[in-house]
């Protein structure tokens, strides 16, 4: 297998950049469709339309209903075709962006702009969508040949959004390092279909170091809707470094455990990043890391305000069948857990999950 690195064509981040979307998207097409839910349309629609119009692009808005499901992508693709869309602009969280990517795929050769309005996941830069059932259970990944043509992140909007999303994005970013490093050690296959490049591996490391260095200070700022240099650093880590790092560095156990956790209704109130954080702790236990390493990670998570017990993500009674269900789904043949540099089995995952609460209770 060859080493492969892939990425979006352009990444733009800063205060107020939403008002410059037209300048950056001018060469991408003529007929834009803005996809976002009501909350996000309220925040960005007027500004996006104005900027696109100044650059000569017509824009229509279509409301995203909230789930990145096959039915929702089909519905929105029909709307995009009706409007002769040649630029899909997705705005919002991971689910809106994943849906916008799928809609672009359904057009005949259109462009895609990814505009995260929360720094909650590393979805904005990737060439894949995570598809769920209408009830919110993970179903499958859809992979595309094309990345977003432009990723545009306005840090004033990110800082003004609820801090919980920002914290969740930090967890998603921290996972990137642990999973890319596992994939590097096993010479496993990355999301872009090759073995990891040094670039993919080192961007994941830089993501982790940036979050350890600036995560806490950035949260202090975002709690006050303020944009500091730490917020810029963490937004870039959550979005660009984590995105490039996971795609070209590889996913492993933490995200498979996240996918397993989505099978339980009880976890549906927890965000993607919150469930991923439990996935990270479980991965560290699976890997047999020293207690001091796991305890350090849990202590840092607590300071960030991230969940560290199964109860924190809604699983009040972690005995019996539920953890088997999670472990079985996490070990599906198609799962990235098999990028760990050792053979992973269902009982191993179940028992690591069972142990999370014990170690977390000890670390205060």
Ligand X SMILES: NC(=O)c1ccc[n+]([C@@H]2O[C@H](COP(=O)([O-])OP(=O)(O)OC[C@H]3O[C@@H](n4cnc5c(N)ncnc54)[C@H](O)[C@@H]3O)[C@@H](O)[C@H]2O)c1
Tell whether 96 is in a known binding site. yes
Question: Which of 341, 261, 276, 357 shows the shortest CA–CA distance to 309?
Answer: 357
Which one, 40 or 234, has the nearer CB to ligand X?
A: 40
Check if the beta carbon of residue 110 is closer than 8 Å to that of residue 104: yes
Out of 172, 181, 201, 357, pick the active-site residue.
172
Residue 296 designated active-site: no
Instruction: Give whichever of 59 and 68 is closer to ligand X, judged by the CB atom.
Output: 68
Question: Angle 346-362/253-261 helices, nearest 10 degrees?
Answer: 90
**Shortest distance, position 319 Cβ to Zn ion, whole Å:** 27
Active site residue 214: no
Is 48 labeled as ligand-binding? no
355 annotated as belonging to a binding site for a ligand: no
**Catalytic hit among 154, 181, 272, 357:** 272
- Contact 284/210 with Cβ under 8 angstroms? no
Nearer to ligand X, 77 or 126 (CB): 126
Say if residue 201 carries a ligand binding annotation. Answer: no
**In 3D, which of 250, 246, 247, 269 has the Cα closest to residue 172?**
246
Rounded to 5 degrees, φ, ψ at 89 are -110, 110
Q: Are the CB atoms for 150 and 18 separated by under 8 Å?
A: no
Interacting residues of 84 by C-beta distance below 8 A, sequence separation 6+: 31
Q: Is 122 annotated as a binding residue?
A: yes
Residue of minimal Cβ distance to Zn ion: 172
In the residue annotation, 24 being an active-site residue is answered as no
Residue 39's binding partner out of ligand X, Zn ion, none, with CB under 5 to 8 Å set by partner kind? ligand X
Residue 324 marked in a binding site: no
Q: Min. distance of Cβ 234 from ligand X in angstroms? A: 15
Asked if 333 is an active-site residue, the reply is no
Residue 114, strand partner residues: 90, 151
**Which residue ranges make up the site for Zn ion (CB under 5 A)?**
172
- State the DSSP string of 218-286: HHHHHTTT---HHHHHHHHIIIIIHHHHHHHH---HHHHHHHHHTTSGGGTTS-HHHHHHHHHHHHHHH
Q: How far is the CB of 130 from ligand X (least distance, A)?
A: 3
Sign of the torsion angle spanned by Cα atoms 326, 332, 336, 339: positive
Q: Is 30 helix (H, G, I), strand (E, B) or coil?
A: coil
For residue 255, the minimal CB distance to Zn ion (Å) is: 6
In this structure, the dihedral spanned by the alpha carbons of residues 194, 199, 201 and 202, taken in order and rounded to 10 degrees, is 180
95 binds, among ligand X, Zn ion, none (CB under 5 to 8 A by kind): ligand X
Residues lying near ligand X in the complex (CB under 6 A) are found at 37, 39-40, 43, 68, 92-96, 98, 117-118, 120-123, 126, 128-130, 157, 161-162, 165, 168, 172, 271-272
118 or 230: CB nearest ligand X = 118
Catalytic residue numbers, as ranges: 172, 255, 258, 272
- Binding positions for NAD(+): 37, 94-98, 117-120, 126, 128, 132
Annotated binding-site ranges: 37, 94-98, 117-120, 122, 126, 128, 132, 172, 255, 272
């Amino acid at each position: 297998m060859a080493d492969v690195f892939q990425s979006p064509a352009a990444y733009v981040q800063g205060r107020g950049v939403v008002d410059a979307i037209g300048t950056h998207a001018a060469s991408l097409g003529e007929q834009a469709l803005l996809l976002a839910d009501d909350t996000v349309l309220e925040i960005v629609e007027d500004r996006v339309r104005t900027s696109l119009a100044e650059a000569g692009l017509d824009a229509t808005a279509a409301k995203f209903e909230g789930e990145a499901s096959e039915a929702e992508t089909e519905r929105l693709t029909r709307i995009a075709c009706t409007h002769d869309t040649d630029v899909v602009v997705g705005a919002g969280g991971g689910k809106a962006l994943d849906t916008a990517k799928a809609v672009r795929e359904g057009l005949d050769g259109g462009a895609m702009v990814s505009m995260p309005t929360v720094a909650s996941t590393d979805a904005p830069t990737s060439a894949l969508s995570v598809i769920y059932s209408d009830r919110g259970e993970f179903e499958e990944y859809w992979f595309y040949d094309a990345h977003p043509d432009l990723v545009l992140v306005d840090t004033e909007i990110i800082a003004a959004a609820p801090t919980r999303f920002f914290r969740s994005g930090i967890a998603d970013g921290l996972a990137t390092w642990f999973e890319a490093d596992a994939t590097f050690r096993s010479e496993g296959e990355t999301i872009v279909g090759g073995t990891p490049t040094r670039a993919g591996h080192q961007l994941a490391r830089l993501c982790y170091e940036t979050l350890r260095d600036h995560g806490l200070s950035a949260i202090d700022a975002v709690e006050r809707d303020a944009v500091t240099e730490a917020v810029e650093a963490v937004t870039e880590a959550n979005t660009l470094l984590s995105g490039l790092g996971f795609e070209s560095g590889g996913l492993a156990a933490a995200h498979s455990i996240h996918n397993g956790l989505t099978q339980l209704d009880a976890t549906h109130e927890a965000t993607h990043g919150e469930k991923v954080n439990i996935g990270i702790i479980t991965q560290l236990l699976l890997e047999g890391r020293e207690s001091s390493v796991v305890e350090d990670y849990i202590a840092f998570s607590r300071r960030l305000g991230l969940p560290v017990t199964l109860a924190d993500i809604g699983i009040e009674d972690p005995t019996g069948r539920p953890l088997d269900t999670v472990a079985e789904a996490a070990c599906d043949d198609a799962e990235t857990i098999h990028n760990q540099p050792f053979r992973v089995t269902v009982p191993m995952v179940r028992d690591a999950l069972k142990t999370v609460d014990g170690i977390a209770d000890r670390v205060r």
